[in-house]
Chains A and B, each alone.
Chain A
Amino acid sequence: MLAPGAVVAVIKAEKMVNPGLQALTAAALMLPGLVNSTANAADGDEFNFQYGRYEESARDLNGVKSQYKPITVDSLHSGGKVNLTDRIKFAFNFIQDTWSGATPITTAPSGRQGNQPYRQFGTVAGASPYIQTGGDGIETNTVYFDRDLKPLLVDPDSLFSDVTSLGQDRKLVHTMSTASPETRKEGNFKLSYEWDEAAVDIGGGISVEHDYESRFGNAGVRLDFNQKRTTLNAGLSYTNSDSFARLSDHFTKPYLNYIAYQSQLKPVTKDQSGDTQILGKRDDWGGNLGLTQVVNKDALFKLGIGFTHSQGYLENPYKAVTAFFIQPVGLPSLGEFSSTIPFVGIGKAFLEQRPDYRNQWIFSTGWVQHINPLDAAFHFDYRFFHDDWGINAHTFEGDWVQPLGAGWSITPRVRYYSQSAADFYHPYLIVGPSADPGNANLASDNAKLPSAFSSDHRLSGYGALSGGIMLSKQFSKGIRLDAGFEYYTHQGDLKLGGGGEADYADFNYYVANATLNVNLTTLGRSLADDPHAHHRHHSHHHGAPLPAGLMFGHVMSTPGDVMVGYRYMYSRQDGDMLYAGKTVSDRAIVDNGCIENGGTCRTVPEFMNMHMHMLDIMYAATDWLNLMVMPQFMDMDMNARPLSGITPAASGAVDHLHGGHDTGAVGDTGMYALVKLFQTEGHQINMGLGVTAPTGKVDIKLNRMHKFDSGYIHYGMQLGSGTWDFKPSLTYTGQASDWSWGAQVSGTKRLEARNSVGFALGDAVQSTAWGSYNVLDWLAASVRGIYTAQGAIKGGFQALPGDCAINYNQNVVQPCVDINPKGGSMDNPKNYGGHYWDVGFGLNAMIPDGAFAGHNFSVEWLQPVEDNVNGYQLERSGTLNATWMYAF
């Protein structure tokens, strides 16, 4: 045990540090970072959060408008870096992407009519993908060819007499298709150990999506020479991936030739869709060497070389190639006749086939120049890529990072990329005659194809030009906000040296991002000058430890203080179907669960998961008023099951039973003021007043399939309320020695009667009380009870006109005034809300020292005790809350 005198001596010694010496030490501290690779560019503890949005332009479909919206991707990235000791660093990241929208599945001359326009109420409403073989006959699956095997446009009125040419068909067109929203999640880490002039690191992670999973590991070494003027990096990596791509039985499989993958096809067993999936395995090994050199006091130079060997299933399972089986016009098999056109080709679609291995080499070099008069930095990078699929690519990139003063900086950026086509890239194939033109899956057709072929535009020759701008603002206390935007154009004409793909494959996209970066070490440094440094860590949580699921419980009392937090919430429903708190039979749900929607119920949810990521930024404006902003990011997935007792539909698609649904993107954004109403020793009362802005989408729709529309996905899968909501709260907290306790009442009042699509979620009230005991100095355990009441949904989705599958038969499709789903219990607004009791068990850790000193971590599990639901609903299984907070 230390004598009190020793502690005083330590504090005195710290105060005696010479300011000049401290500045020099700080400068020296910055040096090791300056020639590091990007992997360890920044020193110190750091937390960051980024939201990104990618949006693609619509493709040119020769004047036809696809029914699908172009691809959009919402991305979330949160991560941190921590110095576990002076020499050991740990970095971790969580990344999540949700995407939806249209993508090309195959390409053919325009005469193939790969996107069939459909009409609703007398006007063309969109176009559906169409790659059928046989069936509908010569007007849709055939293309006529001249003597040189160039495709021809033909007069449609002549198809059943003497087919006549209208000249060469010079236009290729993508067939556009889409998948419903899908989410990918990735977690990764890197652990590194640093010596004075060397470092080693190992890292790894996992990336999971419905149809793809990959696991990866890497290791690297860094060596500094020449007083750190020269740095060498070397790294090795390995990735192991599995694909399990679903070939939907009702949508894809009948139209595609999948014989090449016969041995990899397995039935889907995890749901009742009856679909088939392609199983593919893939391994990637990579190695790289890099060198960074200080050229002079204003310039850095870098050089790198990398190699990747990939092996296994390298195909994109959602890309097909259209092959035309050429035969002379007039053979009895098709029954057509032409006195002038020599050839007709029968179009068939094949799942693409790529070689089973790929070797890729990358050579890169770059220059970083400080521009003294402007204090700017110019970055220039060039990359050359070569692989044994025949692709050569060049990338040129220039950034100008311009500090503007007062913490602002602006970075314009230009990038140019050009690649040549893969040897086996063909927009479409022309091959010998087919033994059976009407058969989509014929082994003898495959024997006539080359060994590898793809019409994925990513393997074509083209160039891409992009430009963007980044704006960055460094605030005090190590907080930095960045906002960036980049516009990208992909064009065949931009290929270096010309000869790129025709303009049918051109497209553009933009990607925008907003980033919060908190450098916790900067805070630590500034605290070193602060005579109160030793007291500050304690002042953050003079309040009692709070359960993880509780918000608005704490008001910071030092004006100017900032708190950054991250809240994660996961909740799941997968119990029995309930009616008014009791288990209910399928029969009763069929008869009564959907009455308000004008019919019987056919499906109920089988499970539903919701994940919510919230960023919590709080600022102490005065000692009694805190301002708070909470952006949210949501993602949800669910699956439905058919109720026993219904007549099954001919296709599960009519009931949306095809492997579940995902949604995900930004949720509603909260803005709050917290006011300290009353405080005395051991007791405090706070009031929260706030609103949530309707930034979450409420108009997400299911895809059109089989020529019928599907309307809005049900209420619980939408990402927000769609209304401005008022959120008041009143919280009491108390504390005496190792015990603390509290109670809170909070509410949600919708400020609008209906949102933009016609409904309003029910108002809600929640009350809770808890007790907490400090089992250790830094660890508290809590128990709490929660009562929640929420009203049913008011109104309902506005009617959407479109094509309906009448009586759940996808073969009888008629225009109707409302296509919104009605047959699921979750489609009925009355089956929402209820009265709930939960019990919460939590732990709250306030880390006193070490790498995480001052950080607060808490977790809480909410166990449902009673679900007294409105109408017919799925039982809740529980909710997990996990939070991290740091105040400074």
Chain B
Amino acid sequence: MKISLFLIALFTAPFLTACAEVQPWERGNLAKPQMALDPYPLQSELRGHSYGAREAAGAGNAGTGGGCGCY
């Protein structure tokens, strides 16, 4: 659990630093397809389905289907 708290703190830290003002016309890079939060959602779904059938933390997909995965 200690490790977990440390990791949470580590990955939350960047958020606490102030964010720069980014005007709409400065968002060219952010709008590129490679910058999408998930550039390849279909593949993510397929990989996620495999993880979900093989890992205990695969849940959290409630409400999005996926079946039993009972193999």
Q: Residues of B contacting A99 with CB < 8 Å?
A: 71
The answer to whether B55 touches A186 (Cβ under 8 A) is no
Residue total for B at the interface (Cβ-Cβ under 8 A): 53
Contact of A188 among B31, B44, B51, B64 (CB under 8 A): B64
A511 to B15, CA, bound (A): 34
Establish whether residues B15 and A293, one from each chain, have CB atoms under 8 Å apart when the complex forms.
yes
Chain A residues contacting B31 (CB-CB under 8 Å) are 27, 30-31, 33-34
Given the complex, which residues of B lie within 8 Å of A366, measured CB to CB? 37
Which residues between 35 and 50 of chain B lie within 8 Å of chain A, taking CB atoms?
35-47, 49-50
Give the residues from 44 to 71 in chain B that come closer than 8 angstroms, CB to CB, to chain A. 44-47, 49-51, 54-57, 59-60, 62-68, 70-71
The chain B residue with its CB closest to the CB of A178 is B71
A38 x B71 contact (CB < 8 A): no
| A75 contacts B49, C-beta separation under 8 Å | yes
Which A residues are CB-close (under 8 A) to B12? 303, 365
Chain B positions 5-35 with a Cβ under 8 Å from a chain A Cβ:
7-8, 11-12, 14-15, 19-20, 22-24, 26-32, 34-35
**Is the CB of A479 closer than 8 A to any CB of chain B?**
no
B14 and A393 form a contact (CB under 8 A): no
Which of A41, A48, A241, A391 touches B36 (beta carbons < 8 Å)?
A41
Report the separation of the CA atoms of residues A243 and B70 in the bound assembly, to the nearest whole angstrom.
10
Which residues of chain A are near B45, meaning CB under 8 Å? 77
A60 at the interface (CB under 8 A from B): no
Query: Which one of B28, B29, B60 lies within 8 Å of A362 (CB-CB)?
Result: B60
Evaluate contact between A372 and B29: CB separation under 8 angstroms: yes
Contact B62 A513 (CB under 8 A): no
Type the 1/0 row for A24-40, where 1 means its CB is closer than 8 Å to any CB of B.
00011011011111100
Which A residues lie within 8 Å of B57 (CB)? 360, 362, 383, 385, 387, 391, 393, 395, 417, 419
Q: How far, in Å, is B59 (CB) from chain A's closest CB? A: 6
Does any Cβ of B come within 8 Å of A205's Cβ? yes
A286 and B62 contacting across the interface, CB-CB below 8 Å: yes
> What separation, in Å, do the CA atoms of A399 and B41 have in the docked complex?
13
Whole-angstrom CA separation of A184 from B71 in the bound complex = 12
Distance (whole angstroms) from the CB of A307 to the closest CB of chain B: 9
A386 contacts partner chain B, Cβ-Cβ < 8 Å: yes
Residues of B within 8 A of A496 (CB): 3
A169→B53 CA distance, assembly (Å): 31
A417 touches B55 (CB 8 A): yes
Give the CA-CA distance A75 to B48 in the complex, in Å: 13
Complex CA distance for A490 and B58, rounded to whole angstroms = 14
Do residues A292 and B37 form an inter-chain contact, with CB atoms below 8 A?
Answer: yes
Chain B CB within 8 A of A103 CB: yes
Q: Complex formed: what's the CA distance from A385 to B31 in Å?
A: 31
A730 at the interface (CB under 8 A from B): no
CB distance from B4 to the nearest CB of A (A): 6
Known contacts A33-B31, A41-B37, A218-B64; is-contact A394 B7 (Cβ 8 Å): yes
Chain A residues with CB below 8 A from B29, complex form = 297-298, 370, 372
Q: Does A248 contact B (CB under 8 A)?
A: no
A774 lies within 8 A of chain B by Cβ = no
Q: Could you say which residues of chain A place their CB within 8 Å of the CB of B66?
A: 186, 207
Decide: B64 and A50 in contact? CB cutoff 8 A.
no
B24's contact among A31, A73, A241, A379, by CB below 8 Å, is which? A31
Q: Total interface residues on A, using CB and 8 Å?
A: 123
- A411 contacts partner chain B, Cβ-Cβ < 8 Å: yes
A862 shortest CB reach to chain B, Å: 31
Residues of B within 8 A of A217 (CB): 63
Closest residue on chain A to residue B43 by CB atoms: A484
Are A403 and B15 in contact, with the CB atoms below 8 A?
no
CB–CB A296/B67 < 8 A: no
The B-contacting residues of A in range 24-79, CB under 8 angstroms, are 27-28, 30-31, 33-38, 41-42, 48, 50, 52, 54, 71, 73, 75, 77, 79
B62 contacts A295, C-beta separation under 8 Å:
no
- The distance from the CB of B28 to the nearest CB of chain A, in whole angstroms, is 8
A77-99 residues with Cβ-Cβ distance < 8 A to B are 77, 79, 95, 97, 99
- A488 located at the interface, meaning its Cβ lies under 8 Å from any Cβ of chain B in the complex: yes
Q: How far is the CB of B31 from chain A (nearest CB, A)?
A: 5
Q: Contact: B34 with A376, CB < 8 Å?
A: yes
Q: Are A212 and B67 in contact (CB under 8 A)?
A: yes
Output the least CB separation between A593 and chain B (Å): 36
Cβ-based interface call for A482 (8 A): yes
* Cross-chain contact B70 with A294 (CB below 8 angstroms): no
B37:A511 contact, CB within 8 angstroms? no
Contact A286 B56 (CB under 8 A): no
B5 smallest CB distance to A (angstroms): 9
- A306–B60 CB distance below 8 A: yes
- Which among A33, A209, A218, A458 is the interface contact of B56 at CB below 8 angstroms? A458
Assess A486 versus B59: contact at CB under 8 Å? Given A99-B71, A297-B30, A298-B29. no
Return B7 CB to nearest CB of chain A, in Å: 6
* A75-B46, A294-B27 as given contacts; A212 in contact with B70, CB under 8 Å: yes
**Interface flag for A316 (CB, 8 Å):** yes
CB-defined contacts of A297 to chain B, threshold 8 Å: 20, 22, 26-30
Could you tell me which residues of chain A, from 365 to 400, have a CB within 8 Å of some CB in chain B?
365-368, 370, 372, 375-377, 379, 382-387, 389, 391-395, 399
User: CA separation between A503 and B44, bound complex, in Å?
Assistant: 28
Q: Quick one: given A301-B15, A386-B4, A403-B34, are A214 and B67 in contact (CB under 8 Å)?
A: yes
A858 to B13 alpha-carbon distance, docked (Å): 55
A243 B24 Cβ-Cβ under 8 A: no
Instruction: Judge whether A609 is part of the interface by a CB distance below 8 angstroms.
Output: no
Whether B63 pairs with A237 at a CB distance below 8 angstroms is: yes
Are A52's CB and B8's CB within 8 A?
Answer: no
Known: A38-B37, A103-B71, A216-B62. A470 touches B43 (CB 8 A): yes
Chain A residue numbers with a CB within 8 Å of B50 are 54, 488, 509, 511
| Minimal Cβ-Cβ distance residue in B for A71 | B71
A179 to B70, alpha carbons, bound, how many Å?
11
Chain B residue nearest to A215 in the complex (CB): B65
Check A594 for interface membership: any CB of B closer than 8 A: no
Q: Does A409 contact B (CB under 8 A)?
A: yes
Contact between chains at A294 and B30 (CB < 8 Å): yes
Which of A206, A386, A417, A496 has the largest count of B CB atoms less than 10 A from its CB? A417
> Within the assembled complex, what's the spacing in Å between the Cα atoms of A611 and B22?
52
A317's nearest neighbour on chain B, judged by CB, is B70
* Nearest CB on B from A836, distance (A): 36
Cβ A411 vs Cβ B15 within 8 A? no
Q: Which of B20, B22, B68 contacts A243 (CB 8 A)?
A: B68
A142 on interface, CB distance cutoff 8 Å: no
A761 CA / B70 CA spacing, docked (Å): 36
Contact of A38 among B14, B30, B41, B62 (CB under 8 A): B41
Whether B40 contacts A384 by the Cβ 8 Å rule is no
Tell me, yes or no, whether A601 is within 8 Å of chain B by CB. Answer: no
Q: How far is the CA of A33 from the CA of B33 in the complex (A)?
A: 10
CB-nearest residue of chain A to B51: A417
CB <8 Å contact, B36 and A211: no
Complex Cα–Cα for A372 and B30 (A): 11
For residues 271 through 297 of chain A, which have their beta carbon under 8 Å from a beta carbon of chain B?
284-286, 288, 292-297
Q: How far is it, in angstroms, between the C-alpha of A236 and the C-alpha of B63 when the chains are bound?
A: 8
Shortest CB distance B25–A (Å): 8
25 contacts between A and B (CB under 8 A): A33-B31, A33-B36, A34-B30, A50-B42, A75-B46, A77-B45, A79-B42, A188-B64, A188-B65, A211-B70, A212-B67, A212-B70, A214-B65, A214-B68, A218-B63, A241-B68, A297-B28, A297-B29, A317-B70, A368-B35, A370-B30, A377-B32, A382-B7, A395-B57, A515-B43
Q: With A36-B37, A184-B67, A245-B70 given, can you name 16 additional A-B contacts, CB distance below 8 Å?
A: A34-B31, A37-B37, A38-B37, A41-B36, A218-B63, A229-B22, A239-B62, A295-B19, A297-B22, A301-B14, A370-B29, A377-B39, A379-B39, A458-B54, A490-B54, A497-B3
Interface set of B (CB-CB < 8 Å, partner A): 1, 3-4, 7-8, 11-12, 14-15, 19-20, 22-24, 26-32, 34-47, 49-51, 54-57, 59-60, 62-68, 70-71
Closest 9 CB pairs of A and B: A237-B63, A385-B57, A212-B68, A377-B34, A393-B57, A401-B34, A284-B62, A286-B62, A218-B63
